[in-house]
Structures are given as structure tokens and as C-alpha cells.
């Protein structure tokens, strides 16, 4: 489970992260990462109806959260991360590799973009 302190809840924060952040995509997930001056790390998930019904969407969200929790400690302070699940994510039994790969590529791009 994603600790409450890491959850992104504000719609404006989602929009800023997606618009201003660096992104990396693969078949199942698009990862957006923006570096801010605000303290802490925040993570948000976007899983639309094209992914599947409510049961499928919730399963995809759980799998993404499970994959990202071990990576939180390695993210730079001030990171804002949004994962957007794509329809093929529903068919993946193990999203971990897609999530972690996309996250690391987006973080590399965001540090290059910032600096």
C-alpha cells in the first residue's frame, strides 16, 4: 500500500506534473515526473475506463502501487510522479518491470530537463 504521505490528491498537482514533467512510455504505462521545490515525494495514478471495468482498474492500480513503493526512497526530494495506465496494462500479470523502467527513464529525463 502507498503510504498516505506519498499520495497526490490535488487535481492541479496532477495537471502540473503531466504538463511540465518529463515522461517515458512503454506498452502498459506512461510515467510523468516533475521535480519541484516542495518537500517530499508525491505519487498519483490515472487509470481510465479504457483499461477495463472497475475491478480491472482497481487491480491495475494495486499492481502499480505495489511496484512503486520500493522505489520511493530512491526518488529525488520534491519529485511529483503520475502513472497513467494504458489498456494493455489490464492484461499484464506483472506490471513491475514496466512501472520501474518507465519511472527511472522519466526521472533521468526530468533531471536533465531541470539542470
| Residue in the structure block whose three cell numbers are 492484461 | 91
Residue 113, pLDDT score: 65
pLDDT at 1: 79
Phi/psi of residue 63, each to 5°?
A: -65, -40
Q: What are phi and psi of 112, to 5 degrees?
A: -70, -40
Share of the chain above pLDDT 90, in %: 89
Give the architecture-level CATH label for domain 4-114: 2-Layer Sandwich (3.30)
Query: What is the average pLDDT across 2-6?
Result: 88
Query: What is the pLDDT at residue 115?
Result: 47
Q: What are phi and psi of 70, to 5 degrees?
A: -65, -20
CB 88 within 8 A of CB 28: yes
pLDDT at 86: 97
Q: Where are the domains of the chain?
A: 4-114
Residue 25, strand partner residues? 30
- pLDDT mean over 71-82: 94
Please give the pLDDT value at position 55: 97
Amino acid at each position: 500500500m502507498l503510504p498516505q504521505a506519498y499520495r497526490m490528491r490535488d487535481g492541479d498537482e496532477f495537471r502540473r506534473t503531466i504538463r511540465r514533467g518529463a515522461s517515458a512510455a512503454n506498452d502498459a504505462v506512461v510515467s510523468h515526473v516533475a521535480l519541484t521545490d516542495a518537500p517530499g515525494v508525491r505519487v498519483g495514478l490515472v487509470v481510465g475506463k479504457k483499461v477495463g471495468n472497475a475491478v480491472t482498474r482497481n487491480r491495475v492500480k494495486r499492481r502499480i502501487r505495489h511496484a512503486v513503493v520500493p522505489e520511493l526512497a530512491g526518488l529525488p526530494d520534491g519529485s511529483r510522479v503520475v502513472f497513467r495506465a494504458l489498456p494493455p496494462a489490464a492484461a499484464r500479470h506483472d506490471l513491475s518491470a514496466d512501472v520501474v523502467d518507465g519511472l527511472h527513464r522519466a526521472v533521468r529525463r526530468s533531471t536533465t530537463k531541470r539542470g
